[in-house]
Amino acid sequence: MAIVIKSEQEINLMRESCQIVADVIKLIGTQIAPGVTTLQLDTLAEDYIRSCGAEPAFKGYGFEANNLFPGTLCVSIDNEVVHGIPGKRVLREGEIVSVDVGVKKNGFYGDGAYTFPVGEVSDEKKRLMRVTKEALDKAVEQAVEGKRIGDIAFAVQSHVEAAGYSVVRDLVGHAVGRELHEDPQVPNYGKPNKGVVLREGMTLAIEPMVNMGSYRVRTAADRWTVVTEDGMPSAHYEYTVVVRKQKAEILTVYH
């Protein structure tokens, strides 16, 4: 496992790509409404990213040459956990939609996600979103020098399961930098005081994916979209953070 510690100069370069991520999430949030298609959101995001002299990190990403990801955003609705492909689907009142965006600029990546309500949503979905965002915040509190990856993982799992929800186990967060996915992986479940020791200058994409029902997921026929096995809704939030000595620095602040 090759863990890359970033210099302050490199973190400053990452700060630019991460700021664009945050700005895209804010921009898309203003456009989410019943009747809007996921492709409209995707086009808006790509145009904005390119206007900043940056590239969409997800577009063309993948390991199967005949099935590279076609979108700028991953747009995942209700029971879709992550990696939803933008297209003709129209947003409907009462749905929740996870928007995940990656940006590359100056040779460095930024990565972030946020789950939005479409119009008025049920109290159950509001609670799912709130608990997932709280889990992310609790995870970030653990991203300080001397802690371990397991401390981040346990912070998410314990908060989510106490609320009666489950964390997705088949997908994890990750370090990020010159590559979109670097070591170490950052799972959302685990035991405290276990795993890689955190050091200042590590840059992590922490991303709880939380299901209202079972943690089990499957991949849809498009070989990208991950959905809950039981059809229950899922929420997803993600920050890119820098491990610091006292308190993690969030590079993708979007509120």
In a domain, 1, yes or no: no
When pLDDT is averaged across residues 131-141 and rounded to a whole number, the result is 98
Q: What is the pTM of this model?
A: 0.97
In a domain, 240, yes or no: yes
Structure tokens at 6: 């970033």
In a domain, 29, yes or no: yes
pLDDT at 87: 98
Confidence class for position 213, pLDDT limits 50, 70, 90: very high
Burial class (CB in 10 A: 0-12, 13-18, 19+), 255: exposed
pLDDT at 1: 78
Total domain count, the chain? 1
pLDDT digits (tens, 9 = 90+) for 28-73: 999 999 999 999 999 999 999 999 999 999 999 999 999 999 999 9
Query: Domain limits at 166?
Result: 8-250
In a domain, 255, yes or no: no
HSE on the CB side for 210, CA within 13 Å?
Answer: 35
Instruction: Tell me the residue type at 27.
Output: L
In a domain, 40, yes or no: yes
Q: Is the pLDDT of residue 202 over 80?
A: yes
What percent of the chain has a predicted confidence (pLDDT) above 70? 100
What is the domain-level CATH number for residue 194?
3.90.230.10
Which strands sit side by side in the sheet containing 173-175, from one edge to the other? 182-186, 173-175, 203-206, 239-242, 249-250
In a domain, 3, yes or no: no
pLDDT at 255: 64
In a domain, 155, yes or no: yes
